[in-house]
Structure 1
């Protein structure tokens, strides 16, 4: 493909993304399947152009006079991001072959104009309606937090599955596969891979065999803060895709169970004097590793629970998967029974915008309000399952104050029997490194913790910890 044809393809993909709700990655894969003539270098160049535009979408829409179509955004990116001259952009828009048609007078005028001072929300790269939320939350740091969320590509974080391997074993295995894993600084079970070039983790034998899971370090940390120990009754109230369910299951393994090797029958060996018992041979367990406690994963959507089942099998751990009723029914037998209840509440997912920047431009103010109301309802229901002395963990992958502080403020006012648990105390865990304990204690506001790409090089997460008094 010529450079001009790649630009036309990128504009077409951008229009598809805007017209639907699918992730940009899925749309790009579909386009590649439909256009087999495009080689790997072509697909990579088109993907780079698409993500470059999405991350700067607010600025580009503003620069192109409010136009939101893929063609306009690509033209704007060539000028504002790539720094091409008007003449160079015109050469790429000659209309020849599969390239884009020539620039209009209006388009030429937009890229020729001297840029005025950008409005704050445009410069930050955020949807306009969330800027005030960022300012209230982060103060003078709000622009840095916005840039960290919207501009850089995220690394690929992995969690080593203690039920099947050690961190050292997996690091050696990944290096043999040609990758360069590094230890995550805070999670003792985490490894990090660079996003450039993007690794195909799911094709690795370590992934297929359940020795690793893809899980952001921030997501790992909130699992470790739950304080799960062997023998506990643990509830993952909004299980979703099951990532945190697997992390909780790993914590609940009995000491030594993760590497347990059952004795096998003695091997029978033929000798000139007859059959004799040889040395006992051992093999690693093929089935799930038993936990001393009980882990229950709830969700309102049965399909999500069904999707967790093969993940549990691959990881070699166990959990009960139970569908919730539309109003939270189906948990009556668990009221006041759980040692730990983790509520990974539905949210806007704004903390993952560095991975899916297209979601930033799909979000509407009314959706944020809807999520806040839903979160308060879910948190109140889940709290009933915590037994006296048990821990309640509220988690979102949102950067927005209205989904985080506003929700737990309302919960605390209505539930005085839930006492705050300091993050610094909860972070005393073998699963959290000493450096992690120090940094988490610095970032925490008592029992509340915010993680973000700018402050922690993780996705955006919020967590609040409580213990039930009575």
Structure 2
């Protein structure tokens, strides 16, 4: 691989924003990719993938480079040199790479591979938490899996088309896909690529949605004609999928505390040909109270640490703080107690997170069932999805039924 100066400069600029200014990697990369209109897909791919790779292995690479926060440009060129050396890329004769100690880099890498928190490039507190909650053998496998690059999985919108048509359309556009055995309406890209520019996407034929996340719609068992509440809807990936399973019949009330996310959901629903979703902003307790005892199904896709999706959001490793875990647990329990009141007798509640921690998952459900608000519910089943077992995002789902 030959390194191009303008692309490498873009990588360094991006890392400065992410590491020093606390910018989100996806937003920073999105902005960088608009820098030069002459860049082709390979150029943009290099910038995006290199930044994500260095962010993912930040602790390992900065330890080898012997640099500490806040990082100077020279520090980040040293980190870049570590990345390139470990990938076997020949460094050009640029001043930034003068006197790069190749042999020392490889030796230091071999040493740090023996220590999990460096090998998997995670903060000390996260390593300790993982051992405490999952046990060392499972945590060791899981954090290794969460450092692998995530697959691009598509959910075919059967309101408009079918899997075979999407597969053929994408093949003509230069994207090869393969079917997923347990998800009949899902396709996985054989190679990563920007499918958002395809006519199939623009026409609402598919959405990008991980395989674990796609399990939720069937889990909730929503049928045509039912009333369903998606209480933490965000931009609506799961709302759209539920609408698909309901054949666009019945009512889905998509709730969120952020209007901009609900606006995005409206745009996506229009593209998908979905017309049974109503968005409601949660701007007071009255919004929830009006729905008490009226919903056949309620989904709480709860805010969480997101440790199950580190493959997609590697910068979360450096943004998360241990104190946040206590805050989010309180929020999760409050949502369970408040939003469960919307379920009518005989109705079902699904609690889901993209976390792998029992304290955010089965322990929360157990605490809820032992509470005053949870006494009329019973646990039907739950599923704990780990990346090292499935190759998909870490995820949790619990189905509860209101019995009286």
TM score, norm. by length of structure 1 = 0.76
Q: Distance in 1 between matches of 2:226 and 2:264?
A: 25
Q: Distance in 2 between matches of 1:41 and 1:191?
A: 23
Range moving further from structure 2, 396-405 or 314-323: 396-405
Give 1:7 shift: 4.2
CA deviations 1:419-468 (Å, max 9, x no partner) are 111xxxxxxxxxxxxxxxxxxxxxxxxx2212233221221211111111
Asked if 1:64 corresponds to 2:76, the answer is: no
Q: Distance in 1 between matches of 2:94 and 2:154?
A: 46
Q: Output aligned runs, 1:3-402, within 5 Å.
A: 3=3, 5=5, 6-35=7-36, 41-65=42-66, 67-68=68-69, 69=71, 70-79=76-85, 81-82=86-87, 92=92, 94-95=94-95, 100=96, 102-103=98-99, 111=105, 114=108, 116=111, 118-135=114-131, 136-137=133-134, 139-150=136-147, 152-194=148-190, 196=191, 198-253=192-247, 289=248, 291=249, 293-317=250-274, 318-326=276-284, 328-402=285-359
Q: Distance in 1 between matches of 2:271 and 2:378?
A: 37
Give 1:21 shift: 4.4
Give 1:146 shift: 0.7
Any conservation in 2 of the 1:451–1:459 contact (CA below 8 Å)?
yes
- Secondary structure of residue in 1 paired with 2:111: coil
Give 1:218 shift: 0.9
- Secondary structure of residue in 1 paired with 2:311: coil
Number of aligned residue pairs: 392
- Secondary structure of residue in 1 paired with 2:153: strand
TM score, norm. by length of structure 2 = 0.88
Q: Against the structure 1 CA distance between its residues 367 and 54, is the aligned structure 2 distance closer, same or farther, given a 3 Å change threshold?
A: same
Q: Distance in 1 between matches of 2:41 and 2:268?
A: 30
- Secondary structure of residue in 1 paired with 2:392: coil
Any conservation in 1 of the 2:350–2:400 contact (CA below 8 Å)?
yes
Q: Distance in 1 between matches of 2:143 and 2:120?
A: 6
- Secondary structure of residue in 2 paired with 1:229: coil
Q: Against the structure 1 CA distance between its residues 212 and 9, is the aligned structure 2 distance closer, same or farther, given a 3 Å change threshold?
A: closer
Q: Against the structure 1 CA distance between its residues 412 and 46, is the aligned structure 2 distance closer, same or farther, given a 3 Å change threshold?
A: same
Gaps of 5+ in 1: 254-288, 422-446
Q: Distance in 1 between matches of 2:309 and 2:117?
A: 19
Q: Distance in 2 between matches of 1:398 and 1:93?
A: 45
Q: Distance in 2 between matches of 1:64 and 1:139?
A: 28
- Secondary structure of residue in 2 paired with 1:159: strand
Q: Against the structure 1 CA distance between its residues 319 and 62, is the aligned structure 2 distance closer, same or farther, given a 3 Å change threshold?
A: same
Give 1:10 shift: 2.5
- Counterpart in the other structure of 1:277: none
Q: Distance in 2 between matches of 1:41 and 1:175?
A: 19
Runs of 4+ in structure 1 off by over 6 angstroms are: 107-110
Q: Against the structure 1 CA distance between its residues 210 and 131, is the aligned structure 2 distance closer, same or farther, given a 3 Å change threshold?
A: same
Q: CA RMSD in A?
A: 2.6
Asked if 1:420 corresponds to 2:379, the answer is: yes
- Counterpart in the other structure of 1:453: 387
Q: Against the structure 1 CA distance between its residues 469 and 66, is the aligned structure 2 distance closer, same or farther, given a 3 Å change threshold?
A: farther
Name the larger-Rg structure: 1
Q: Against the structure 1 CA distance between its residues 230 and 43, is the aligned structure 2 distance closer, same or farther, given a 3 Å change threshold?
A: closer
CA deviations 1:144-191 (Å, max 9, x no partner) are 2111111x2212111111211122222222223232121122222111
- Counterpart in the other structure of 1:271: none
Any conservation in 2 of the 1:186–1:217 contact (CA below 8 Å)?
no
Q: Distance in 2 between matches of 1:52 and 1:126?
A: 14
Point out which structure has higher relative CO (alpha carbons under 8 A, 6+ apart).
1
Q: Distance in 2 between matches of 1:231 and 1:147?
A: 44
Any conservation in 2 of the 1:210–1:314 contact (CA below 8 Å)?
yes
Give 1:379 shift: 1.3
